[in-house]
Amino acid sequence: MQILNVIQCTNLGGMEQSNLLACKGLLARGHGIETVSLTPVGKIAPLMREAGIPTTGIRYRGRGGWRSIPEMVQQFQRCQADAVIMCGHNLAATLALARNPAKRKVLAIHHYHFEKADDGRWRWDAVYRFAERVFDHITFSSDFIRDEALTIRPQLERRSSVLPNPFVVPERPSVTERLSAKRHLGLSGSELVVGNAGWLTARKRFDVFLQVAARVSMAHRDAHFVIAGNGPNRENLKALAESLGIAGNTRFLDWQTDLSDFYRAVDVLLFNSDFDALGRTAAEAAAYGVPVVASVVRGGLRELFREGDGAVVLCEHDIEVLAGAVLALLENDDLRRARGTEVRERVATYGDIAGHVMRVEQLLGA
């Protein structure tokens, strides 16, 4: 089967990482894949091409991309696909696919809908009304965002389902590999490290991370804190670390194309967010056997880490509770390893790549 993979952009976010894994899996199953990005190609495009997936970018012109619709139609038809996956919502691309002759079309939604109640509801309603006419099925990466969608458009229930994101579960790093990774990040290797990675934006609450770090530092002077990522809040966060008195044991790394050394170096992953469809950083860290402490006000992380799955996931940013959970892990090597094993096993089950790919094949009629 020849599959056209339409994606909003080709940066290195969670949506793009999940899409790349799915495309690799489909390619391994003997399908042909071609990716068309609705914007000029980004940092994940070389990884697509390295995997043998041709990747093309489109000039995104006009509000919502409406001036690019003719180019979209041309690029989509050029691929002569039997089936289409569109990763991420886009009204212009939906219209461009309306008369595409592909036999099956699936829309994959990875993003939350609201930052506050009913924010932009009419826009999402328009997205889903058109999507119903063009796509045979709509998948959501978590129950959380599917439930949001059903409050907007209840009619989606019969033609939508939850398809959890796939995750690679690597070999658990050895003591030597962890030591090497810490040194690669500029640490001595002997310190205990609490970390998080992501876009340094307002909703990704790295300010909460730093406040928790300050509490932890009061009880555990040898703890170090690492933030990997970039974004508009970077300088403000550095200033906050200074004001909290933890600048000396807090490291800000630039955006990492490959986070494997970061995950090998971290002893505890402290993840904080106001809104997230899931929270890929927490899942990826867990796949390396890193125990997770998290607070997500609205999101799907509690679907991945249910009660008894080894992680601490709060629905509010309680600094004292978060700090207590981090300290409990830092001060007990056996507990830290046991919790890391539990979350790793959970991610392996939840994000099984083979199961994800087989479900995509079913939806595409392969």
CA 192 to CA 57: how far, in whole Å?
42
Class of domain 2-166+352-364: alpha beta
Task: Categorize the per-residue pLDDT at 133 as very low, low, confident or very high, splitting at 50, 70 and 90.
Answer: very high
Q: Is the pLDDT of residue 238 over 80?
A: yes
Q: What is the mean pLDDT of the chain?
A: 94
* pLDDT mean over 196-208: 96
Cα dihedral 336, 337, 338, 343 in deg (nearest 10): 90
**Considering the chain, what percentage of its residues have pLDDT values greater than 70?**
99
Q: Is the pLDDT of residue 120 over 80?
A: no
Could you report the per-residue pLDDT of 140-198, keeping only the tens digit for each?
Answer: 999 999 999 999 999 999 999 999 999 999 999 999 999 999 999 888 888 999 999 99
Q: How much is the pLDDT for 258?
A: 86
Q: How much is the pLDDT for 366?
A: 75
Q: Is the pLDDT of residue 210 over 90?
A: yes
* pLDDT mean over 206-214: 98
Could you report the per-residue pLDDT of 254-287, keeping only the tens digit for each?
Answer: 888 789 999 999 999 999 999 999 999 999 999 9
Q: How much is the pLDDT for 94?
A: 97
Q: Is the pLDDT of residue 208 over 90?
A: yes
Q: How much is the pLDDT for 117?
A: 60
List the 2-7 sheet strands across, edge first. Answer: 55-57, 32-37, 2-7, 83-87, 104-109, 137-140, 160-162
CA 280 to CA 261: how far, in whole Å?
16
Q: Give the CATH superfamily of 175-350.
A: Glycogen Phosphorylase B; (3.40.50.2000)
pTM greater than the 0.85 cutoff: yes
Q: How much is the pLDDT for 242?
A: 97
Domain with CATH 3.40.50.2000 in the chain: 2-166+352-364, 175-350
**Residue 364 one-letter amino acid:** L
Write out the two tokens for 338. Answer: 């046991």
* pLDDT mean over 115-138: 88
CA 102 to CA 80: how far, in whole Å?
8
> Sign of torsion, CA 34 38 41 44?
negative
Cα dihedral 212, 217, 222, 228 in deg (nearest 10): 30
Other C-beta atoms within 10 Å of 98: how many?
Answer: 11
Could you report the per-residue pLDDT of 318-356, keeping only the tens digit for each?
Answer: 999 999 999 999 999 999 999 999 999 999 999 999 999
